[in-house]
A = this chain, B = another copy of it.
């Protein structure tokens, strides 16, 4: 999974592979292990030994691939926002407004289901003040939100969507969908323990919620 989170230095110029076979494999294993660990216990709660163990390496060997614990964390975070926002980017100004938004919410829910670790990693980062991600949030994220909020506002102005605050609408979609990843243990504890069935219910609920709230009178 963290494949998506790894910056590939040489995407434009495949001059020198730079990454040997072994390197690629081990970096990969480290990021995978770290994602697991960080999502579970947070940055401070995760030890290098634990990551190394999960990755099947010795600690010094891990540090041969990443300069520090921070570096591992940073590598994970680097690609995360992009990955996370892909569905929002895909929201099409030329589509049918209600469908676009419902689709967005459902895609986001699906991501929460398939990538709960990424969601938790992100949640932890924001919860503790976004020390690493602030620039990306204030830059690209804000730009994207501004853009899409404008699209939604347009739809509303055209009467194709019941009027409400576009930004808070987006927040509510983030909140309701990520909730199923970030508060997973709580959700599971409060529902019957049928395997992931609740994601289907959640999808139905959210579709109903947003369809009712946004379909123009």
Q: Chain A residues in contact with chain B, CB under 8 A?
A: 40-45, 120, 123-124, 126-130, 134, 137-138, 141-142, 145, 162, 164-165, 167-169, 171-172, 174-176, 178-180, 182-183, 185-187, 189-191, 198, 201-202, 204-206, 208-209, 212-213
Contacts and interface: CB of A to CB of B under 8 A. Distances in A.
Given A130-B185, A189-B134, A174 B167 contact: no
B128 A127 contact: no
Given A141-B186, A165-B205, A174-B179, 11 more contacts: A42-B127, A123-B183, A141-B189, A142-B190, A164-B208, A164-B209, A168-B206, A172-B205, A172-B209, A209-B209, A213-B213
Contact of A185 (B41, B134, B206): B134
Contact of A128 (B41, B169, B213): B41
A179 B176 CA distance: 9
A43 to B, nearest CB: 7
Q: Which of A120, A123, A171, A198 has the most chain B CB atoms closer than 10 A to its own CB?
A: A171
